Copies of this chain bind each other. A is one copy, B any other.
């Protein structure tokens, strides 16, 4: 949009929101130019609505001027979901942080989209409840971003993902229509399930302004196991054994030998036994007496060839000590190479060992440092290709390795993303997984909700010539 034309857009936005919540200076545009993807594109402006009504007003202005809007929570996503597009205005939900209703008796909470996910959990726990989805970014990410991406985390293996905790939404579609989806009760089948159509749609169908979430009773106790194996194959076999017996762990996390080498190099794994080539972090939660029973069952399943050490903790300090190796990983792998290409593929749990072996072969054959870890109980492996973006040859090899990784994931009956989503980073891989008629249905839904392609254009779905 030409500068003059945009000046009039800015005036309309300022009329609607007040000038303090419409920023178009270079500093603001740079501050909101990226999410957690290594890309950058300054928007034309950033706006901070304070209410559903202001979001509607923004959408109306966008419709009048054919202005692309990019919804943003905390900008902590890593597939470009909140990356601005050229000429866009970022709609930050940071000022929509009201708790509209907290109803412990009915185990629901209704919040505006900008509420920090961890704050929802904290409030729930003050009444003996909790909000199960626990992405790593929970201390700062916003529930609107979680809804857009259908966020998950370690607890998903037992408790499911964001989608499973949303009862109803209030939202503004790309035509400016205000819709109310779902219900506020624990059951309801009135009309089509628009709630779950919006969850995971990455801000491309509607701007979600409010959500009613379901809460669960908080488990009274937790136990943590750290289990070391002499290789990934025995560790993955243990994962398969755990997921075949009846006790579902509340976390079942895996780290491969590259990950362990990285944390050793960072000096953070000094208490791991020599020869550790794979690590599992396993948790059980529930009533204290039952946690003891669950832990015994999990330990029995974790026993097997290649087990080097099993440590257990229940008090918070000891639990934190066991997690320290895993928690140090994010920092440690940054030392390997400046750029992390982070994939979060999923395979059936019984095929996880094959996937891990394939990743090892890819690392060797294509001479790429790959660190693999993730939510093993869901078969959800985070495959991190550590590369130097200025090394064109390495980048080309990384692309080849990625293609082969995706092909293998699909061959094993898996899916290309378990929780990170598609955004800009994976959208052109979608035709590997989704056939043309299914993609055509998704495109038609996009066209229906957002006929002028104003909501997060260029995200989620592949280019139409794909």
Contact = CB atoms under 8 A, between A and B. Distances in A.
Contact of A194 (B152, B442, B448): B442
Contacts of A437: 173, 177-179
Q: Which 3 A-B pairs have the closest CB atoms?
A: A217-B246, A196-B196, A187-B418
A228 interface: no
A46 to B, nearest CB: 26
A152 to B, nearest CB: 6
Contacts of A160: 164
A346 B185 contact: yes
10 contacts: A103-B350, A106-B243, A106-B379, A185-B347, A187-B418, A188-B415, A190-B416, A191-B422, A193-B199, A287-B293
Contact of A290 (B189, B190, B293, B415): B293
A189 B246 contact: no
Contact of A185 (B181, B240, B289, B415): B415
A274 to B, nearest CB: 32
B244 A218 contact: no
A414 interface: yes
A451 to B, nearest CB: 10
B190 A417 contact: yes
Q: How large is the interface on A (under 10, 10 to 19, 20 to 34, 35 or more residues)?
A: 35 or more
A419 interface: yes
Interface in A335-352: 346-350
Contacts of A185: 346-348, 378-380, 413-415, 418
Q: How many copies does the complex hold?
A: 2
Most buried by B among A191, A218, A449: A191
A197 B192 CA distance: 6
A193 B414 CA distance: 16
A245 to B, nearest CB: 8
Contacts of A104: 244
Most buried by B among A164, A180, A189, A375: A189
Interface stretch (A35-43, A319-327, A428-436): A428-436
A440 interface: yes
A367 to B, nearest CB: 29
Interface string A138-181: 00000000000110100011001101100000000100011111
Given A293-B289, A448-B445, A419 B189 contact: yes
B415 A183 contact: yes
A438 B290 contact: no
A350 B379 CA distance: 39
Contacts of A349: 105-106, 186
A292 to B, nearest CB: 10
Contacts of A446: 192
B161 A164 contact: no
A3 B289 CA distance: 71
A284 interface: no
Nearest to A439: B191
B418 A378 contact: no
Interface in A374-429: 375, 378-380, 413-422
Contacts of A444: 448
Contact of A106 (B106, B200, B350): B350
A419 B287 CA distance: 31
A128 interface: yes
B197 A418 contact: no
Interface string A435-466: 10111111011101100000000001100000
Nearest to A107: B243
A232 interface: no
B441 A190 contact: no
A183 B441 CA distance: 16
A278 B152 CA distance: 42
B438 A188 contact: no
Contacts of A287: 246, 290, 293
B190 A433 contact: yes
Contact of A248 (B108, B217, B379): B217
Interface in A15-71: none
Given A173-B441, A179-B441, A220-B246, A189 B420 contact: yes
A108 B346 CA distance: 15
Contacts of A419: 187, 189
